[in-house]
Amino acid sequence: MLPLGIFSWFGYRLPLEKRLKLIAEAGFTATCVWMGEEEEVVLDGHIDRMPGMVRDLGLTLDNVHAVSRHCNLLWSESSLDKNIIQEEYEAALSFCHRHRIPILVIHITQSFNPPPMSTSGLHIIRSLVSQAEEMGVTIAIENTTRPDYLEYVFSNIRSPNLGFCYDSSHDFVAREFRGKALQKWGSLLVATHLSDNKGIKDDHLLPGQGTIDWNEVVKSFAKVNYNGTLMLEVDGPEANKGLTADEFLKLGYQKVRKFAEKLEK
């Protein structure tokens, strides 16, 4: 069975160390961490403690999720704007290199209406990939609500250090491209963000709590040679439905294990 993991930021306001302990106790063997200041250790300036906290509990640190709020600046006409996002992503790459974390997950758009694609934006991504090659890190670009930008990048940049992070929830709110991400970029798959939604927005629900056809997802996975972690990215009151953190994690583990078993059939 493929390794099973869950994003360490899973919707409960608990210290990171406590969340990681609960993740391990629920049966997961892997996790990923968030670099945003929503994480108290990041806000307090102790971001470099996170990898050790994960590994001390016997968990694999599968990937790091870079902060995405400025990602549309990749396509800005302003060089100052571009510098902001380039520096953020370069710092995230350095963090991965410093702590021997193999994958950095990034967004290249947010919302349905980012600025137009540009060769200057592509140049920044190409520069980041070049740095990733030197550092031994793989950049995994996540599918969001504008898959055409992902296609633009993957069509123009080819590297063993550039891959795809499949987000099932984003896949099923992508309008006319709905449900097609794995079919399109499955050959580049290096990471996953699995969650459900109700067909309108990115709800981050547990598989089975929304309207995604998971049998369809299983069929798409069957055509992909993927040996990485099946990672849940779930949070929020609609997902936990009043459960305690440990109850929520145990339920999440059952859901993703059931999905993994279907992949093996």
Query: Based on the structure, what is the number of domains in the chain?
Result: 1
Confidence of residue 34 (pLDDT cuts 50, 70, 90): very high
Q: State the Cα–Cα distance between residues 162 and 158, nearest whole angstrom.
A: 7
Name the residue range of residue 22's domain: 4-264
What's the pTM value of the predicted model, to 2 decimals?
0.96
Q: Please state which of the ranges 88-97, 156-165, 236-245 shows the lowest mean pLDDT.
A: 236-245
Q: What is the CATH number of the domain that holds 118?
A: 3.20.20.150
**How much is the pLDDT for 60?**
98
pLDDT one-digit tens code per residue, 183-229: 999 999 999 999 999 988 889 999 999 999 999 999 999 899 999 99
Burial of 164 (0-12, 13-18, 19+ CB in 10 A): buried
pLDDT tens for 116-131 read 999 999 999 999 999 9
Residue 239: its pLDDT value, please? 73
Q: Quickly count: other Cβ atoms within 10 Å of residue 63's Cβ.
A: 29
**H/E run at residue 43:** helix 40-43
β-strand 103-106 against 138-142: which pairing, if any? parallel
pLDDT confidence of residue 130: 98
